[in-house]
Structure 1
Amino acid sequence: SYVGIAISLFPMIVPYHFTLWESASSERTQAFLLVGTLVLLPVILMYTGWSYWVFRGKVRADIGYH
């Protein structure tokens, strides 16, 4: 249903007030966010992979809270 609403309202973000392009941030802001994402996303993925590596084999299927 959300996809249907988005398709029916496109390109209006706020119906009858702002289009997608009017409400978007400036190109400099988007470039800043892109650089931040390109730097932080690999760090987050590496940390997640490392934590999975550290805790591998510590939990078994037959042991639980119940």
Structure 2
Amino acid sequence: MSAPVELPPVEQLSYGQYKGLACVWCKAKLTTGAVSAGIARGQSGAHILDTEVYACPNCAPKSAPRPRKVRKP
């Protein structure tokens, strides 16, 4: 298993990356198959700006959990 990839701080993210609309690493638009990349940390004074960021399937680390397909009963 490889070492975890360090996420960029919130201050370096674009609006799309911060809102989960773009890949945290390559900035590609996310439509389907996005994988949670973790939580980007940051703060502005007393305000915590932490947010969950997502990656496209090509950029997602191999050790990242893949989304499960849910079958309806």
TM-score tier, shorter chain, comes to under 0.3
TM-score (norm 1): 0.19
Name whichever structure is richer in helix by fraction. 1
Name whichever structure is richer in strand by fraction. 2
- Which structure ranks higher in relative contact order (CA pairs < 8 Å, sequence separation ≥ 6)? 2
TM-score (norm 2): 0.18
